[in-house]
Amino acid sequence: MAAPRLALVVATTVAVLAALLLASSEPASAAVSCSDVTSSVAPCLGYAMGTTAFPSPACCTGVRSLNSRASSTADRQATCACLKSMTSRLGGGGGVSMGNAASIPSKCGVSVGVPISPNVDCSKIN
């Protein structure tokens, strides 16, 4: 039972963080895959769930890396769609603190320009 719950929490965290990360205007060398996104934001799970006081250095490294790799509108929209799909399949929810998740970019020194919401419309991300 713990593995499906962890997968649900990771997927929800990833979906929330997608909204935080998809407005990058920095250049990137490659397209972002769903597995890239998941591995980049997985270290943020503890903070997003409220079990740690601050995002870990690995979380911030992952957030910065993902932010710089999602450079084109198509990459950002595809990343968003992937994350929303994962969340839908797993059901959403799962103990994620929206306040903590929304604060990750600023705590990691990353500037984003999209609403922080699991309900973001991926087609409107530029």
> Which CATH number covers residue 61?
1.10.110.10
Q: What is the pLDDT of residue 61?
A: 96
Q: What is the pLDDT of residue 92?
A: 55
26 inside domain = no
Q: Which domain range does residue 91 map to? A: 34-118
Q: What is the pLDDT of residue 37?
A: 82
18 inside domain = no
Our count of domains for the chain comes to 1
23 inside domain = no
70 inside domain = yes
- How many Cβ atoms are within 10 Å of 118's Cβ, its own excluded? 20
Residue 93: pLDDT band with limits 50, 70, 90: low
The rounded distance, in Å, linking the Cα atoms of 113 and 111 is: 7
Whether pLDDT at 109 is above 90:
yes
- Residue 103, classified by CB atoms within 10 Å of its CB into exposed (0-12), middle (13-18) or buried (19+), is middle
28 inside domain = no
64 inside domain = yes
25 inside domain = no
